[in-house]
Amino acid sequence: MARKIDQTDRAILRILQKQGTPSQRELAEKVGLSQNACWRRLNALREDGVIAHDTVRLNASALGLTLTVFVLMRTRHHSREWFETFRKVVGSIPNIVDFYRIAGEYDYLLKVVACDMNDFDRVYQQIISKVELDAITSYMTMETLADNRDLPV
């Protein structure tokens, strides 16, 4: 059983979400702990799976990925075999940055980042050439108002 997350842990997590990789000393100072105590808490948060991995947020536009598309997909197939094929296809396409199984009229939601419409069409063609789907609808974003927001800790 995972330990209870207290206010000091929450402070550590808020700082890490905003700043990414502060030095251990800087982090310890900000939350009012010794470096050793802070290190122990960080390790415990990692061991408990609260901190999944250390990453850096990249600016998609600066990398030329100026088109974001949300794709809704519906299938007639619900077998484990079909799903594993679908997951493998979707997982092999780097432009698909988020992938969800959802409830409602559609079965899956994908977030795709692309350079332009031709790049998105390439992704679309990769999917439909390898997986049978019943319906697909895509929504192109016009403006990002909030993206990759910090979790409320």
Same CATH topology for 7-48 and 60-140: the answer is: no
- Give CA separation, 29 vs 40, 54, 109, in Å: 15, 20, 41
pLDDT tens digit string along 116-136?
999 999 999 999 999 999 999
pLDDT score, position 63: 93
DSSP structural state of residue 151: P
CATH topology of domain 60-140: Alpha-Beta Plaits (3.30.70)
User: In the chain, what are the domain boundaries?
Assistant: 7-48, 60-140
Q: What is the DSSP letter of 61?
A: G
The helix-helix angle for 117-130 and 80-91 (nearest 10°) equals 150
Choice between 84 and 147, residue whose per-residue pLDDT is larger: 84
DSSP-based three-state secondary structure for 96? strand
Residue 55 has a pLDDT of 83
pTM for the structure as a whole: 0.85
pLDDT tens digits for range 9-40: 999 999 999 887 889 999 999 999 999 999 99
Return the closest-CA partner of residue 89 out of 127, 121, 123.
127
Helix residue spans in 49-152 (DSSP H): 80-91, 117-130
Q: Is the pLDDT of residue 2 over 70?
A: no
Q: pLDDT averaged over the chain?
A: 94
Note the CATH number of domain 7-48.
1.10.10.10
In the predicted model, is pLDDT for residue 1 greater than 90? no
